[in-house]
Chain A
Amino acid sequence: MSPEERYALEKESLDDPFLLDALEGLEALPSWPTEVKNIDSLIQKRTENKAKVLWIIWRPISIAASVLLIVGFGLYYFFKGPTKPPIIPLSKIQKKPSTHIVLNPPNPESGSIFKKSKPSPSLIAQSSTEKKASIPNEPVKEDLKKYASDEAKVDFPGAVARVIPRELPDTSNTMADKALALKTSKQNAQEEEKKAPILVSRTLIRVPSASAASNNANGLLSAKTKGLSITETNGILRKSRLGSDSSKDLSEVVITMNGAPLDKNEDTTFPIPEGGIDHFHQYVLTEIKKDTDFHGSVTLEFEVLPNGKIDHIKVINSSNKKLNNKAKKILLNGPVWKGSPTGQSKTLEEEIKFP
């Protein structure tokens, strides 16, 4: 430091006690510039350390707070979060169409429904061995006519059958829609049941005459003719011509019953319970109402002997095994059947539904 600089400092120190004391102290340590630099670096480190200390303190706190927040959100959604109903793909929803061949009695309160029956072995056996009867050419019996449904528009004599397909309704993805659909289907089923004719026996189709066959072929389980296709759709049999329009073709009618062709000369009259089918239906309804503990349906196959008695009762299908004996009892304790006028045993089916 030059004398002039020193003089300036000294002159200033006369008015500045801070400077005066500092100069007095620093004069005793010639290396004071180095010492002051070291002190400055210590102060800078001290400033950085304080920031580090704060970071060291806050870092674990911030991590702990983040973890607690995540755990809290997880617990909240675990216990109270919105839960979506499981989505059931449509492929898993099985449609179980079932077709029932039913007659159309005017009293649908009975609990029995006709079902498409399997071909009767006895019937087939009889058709192959016995003399083939000619196709009767007689008008439809009155007791059969009254069973015809207005809907089906049965003109064809003996044609009293119609098919009521049953399908499960379409279901949507959501549980609410599915429940509504099921409810609707139940209601529809109930309405159909009300409308549906309740039959006791399987329909044996009387082979119609050629002239009658030129009209609607309603009532046939299935009939295939040359150039004529008869199919059933939603309970209504429809006739459509494929080729020839000649009524002569209808003389070659082949009656099938569940796919098994029958001899056209076979007797197709069927037994009727005493008192008529209405009376039988009323009896069945009364019986099933007595026992409301179990629910389900039972399909019985039985043989009506020429004397009208019931024999060879078999359970073909049952949704509740506990109802099998009950259904058999109902059948056995029911009205006596009128056997076939031809003196042949007839195998019939009956489905009894316990609501």
Chain B
Amino acid sequence: MQFSKTQKKRDTRDDESLLAEYRSGGSLDSLSEIYMRYTGLVFGVCLKYLSDREMAKDAVMGIFEEIIVKAKNPDIKNFRPWLYVLSRNYCLMQLRREKKISVEPLSDFMEFEEDLHPEKMELESNLKNLELCKQKLVVEQRLSIELFFERKLCYLEISENTGFSLKEVKSYIQNGKRNLKICIETLQKGE
């Protein structure tokens, strides 16, 4: 099961090759090979949205039935983000049928841009701005960001050190990161 892109792949062939083989009339084995690489991620997403183990398992199988048909679409360029959007939409539709919540599914082909890590910005000018913006953050956010990015502690360790819950640690880190980004962009525009 591949959680990270940097982890070693089980099969030497990449997703695009197997997908092309499936589209060219190959057997279902090619598609199942790709899907089994992401069943953990799909299961996790389904667990997050459906909050039920059995429902999540059924959703994983249902998503597989859907991609048997939809994977033949030649417009799919990148399978991994497409599978995430498909899984998320499937779970939201399940919730919409059962709980009738007004959740608009995302487009299947919406791509998520990778957020630039603050360390990837220009060093000299951005370091000054970064320090300035950090001072503007809320204490919890600044502390969580410093422990996570500078000391490289995991959420659990930060939680243990600060007494924050895991959810709060995640929230502080994500919100602090977004606020830093906005602040740095504002300063760059001002310059």
Contact = CB atoms under 8 A, between A and B. Distances in A.
A28 interface: yes
B112 A47 contact: no
A8 B152 CA distance: 9
B84 to A, nearest CB: 4
Given A9-B3, A22-B44, A47-B32, A29 B39 contact: no
Contact of A26 (B27, B40, B152, B156): B40
Given A7-B152, A8-B4, A47-B29, A40 B36 contact: yes
Contact of A18 (B1, B39, B45): B45
Given A18-B84, A35-B53, A47-B32, A25 B43 contact: yes
Contacts of B117: 14-15
A23 B156 CA distance: 13
B48 A25 contact: yes
A337 B127 CA distance: 160
Contact of A10 (B6, B45, B154): B154
B47 A26 contact: yes
Interface residues of A, number: 37
B44 A25 contact: yes
Contacts of B166: 27
A343 to B, nearest CB: 116
A24 interface: yes
Contacts of B174: 14
Contact of A46 (B3, B48, B57, B61): B61
B155 to A, nearest CB: 6
Interface in A20-65: 21-29, 32, 35-36, 38-40, 42-44, 46-47, 50-51
Interface string B149-190: 000111111000000001000000110010000000000000
B167 to A, nearest CB: 9
Nearest to B56: A25
Interface of B: 1, 3-6, 27-29, 32, 35-36, 39-49, 51, 53, 56-57, 60-61, 64, 80-81, 83-84, 88, 112, 114-115, 117, 148, 152-157, 166, 173-174, 177
